[in-house]
Amino acid sequence: MIAGTWSINQVISDDLPTPDIFMSSVFPGDRYLAIESSATSASNLEWFVSEFFQAEKYAAPVLDRKVFDYCNELVQQVQLNENLPIYHPYLYGSKDNAHLGANFFGVSGWHTRADLLYAVYEGIVFGHQEHVDKLARFGITFDHVVLGGGGSRSNVLVPTVCRHIKYYRQCDALCGNRCSWCGNGRGNGCGFVCKL
């Protein structure tokens, strides 16, 4: 699973995937790579930060930090409850409908910028879940998720993926040298493991 500009969800399969799957290719060992993808991942976060965190974005280099680190801190302050807004991450359409747009649902006057940001994080995970569900619906199953891409560097997005993505027993984050928050580093992976 790659949480980058695009939501890329790929699984190696022994069987040729159905044409209903977004893309497939031949993989070594007489296997296939089944891919479900769309622009429903971190591109949504990048847009939100560009539009609603401009001051923090410009101040980040002066403060020697990244604006996304600030966003992670802000999201961690959100009190989780059933009244938080929901975000559908179709800023650039969906795989099934190019004209579908992104939406916030359930926004009320007491919601803060942090609440909306949290909704964007969950919306990114929703986009991945939608693809994972489609893979499973067409017989492409798995029980382990390895998260890569820029989103795997987020100490908020990774646990959110682990909490919400079903069909797995374990979730590792590939975040290179940013493993201080992950626990016991293993090679290129972080060792961030979530089990059902």
Q: What pLDDT does residue 35 have?
A: 92
DSSP three-state, residue 7: strand
Residue 196 lies in a domain: no
Question: How far, in Å, CA of 82 to CA of 165, rounded?
Answer: 18
Q: Which domain holds residue 110?
A: 2-173
Q: What pLDDT does residue 180 have?
A: 34
| Run means of pLDDT, 10 residues per run, the chain, 196 residues | 88 90 90 91 94 92 90 94 95 85 96 97 93 89 79 82 66 44 35 39
Residue 186 lies in a domain: no
Count: domains in the chain: 1
Q: What pLDDT does residue 162 have?
A: 77
pTM of the model: 0.83
Structure tokens given for 63: 């403060």
> Residue written as tokens 């975000």?
87
Residue 32 lies in a domain: yes
Looking up residue 156, the CATH number of its domain turns out to be: 3.30.420.40
First to last CA, the chain: 18
Q: What pLDDT does residue 179 have?
A: 35
Nearest to 45 by CA among 105, 127, 162: 127
DSSP string, 96-117: S-TT---EEES--TT--HHHHH
78-109 core/surface letters (b: 16 or more CB in 10 A; e: else): beeeeebbebbbbbbebbeeeeeebeeeeeee
Q: What pLDDT does residue 166 have?
A: 66
Residue 195 lies in a domain: no
